[in-house]
Amino acid sequence: MTGRHLARSGEQVVEESLAQAVMTGHFDDARLSPQERAAVRYADQMWHDHHGMPDELWDELMRVFTPEEFVELGMAVANYKGMGQFVAMLGLPEPEFVK
């Protein structure tokens, strides 16, 4: 993956090594803020088993996000999960960075 594929937030660019770490399941990377750690753990849990939300993850989410922020996060995760399922249903190839 190159820098042009990475998300931008204002002037900040996500480091490629951090993006790779998160995409390979290293959610406790010290470069992530508490909110970012909770968000990637939540997204991963929602992808793999949305019925099995651990109490400790729920507690962490409620500690680091306001109710409004959590709803926004939940909507974003649901949207992207649905988009991923739709793309898979169409039989489109996975993006290069996922492989």
pLDDT in tens, 37-74: 999 999 999 988 989 999 999 999 999 999 999 999 99
5: confidence class by pLDDT, cuts 50, 70, 90: very low
CB 40 within 8 Å of CB 47 = no
Q: How many domains does the chain have?
A: 1
Write down the pTM of the prediction. Answer: 0.74
The more confidently predicted of residues 76 and 7 is: 76
Q: Is 42 exposed, middle or buried (0-12, 13-18, 19+ CB in 10 A)?
A: buried
List residues bridging with 9 in a β-sheet.
12
Q: Please report the pLDDT score of residue 30 as a whole number.
A: 87
- Distance, in Å, from the CA atom of 27 to the CA atom of 11, rounded to the nearest integer, reads 23
Asked if residue 98 has pLDDT above 60, the reply is no
Domain with 36 in it:
3-98
The more confidently predicted of residues 27 and 62 is: 62
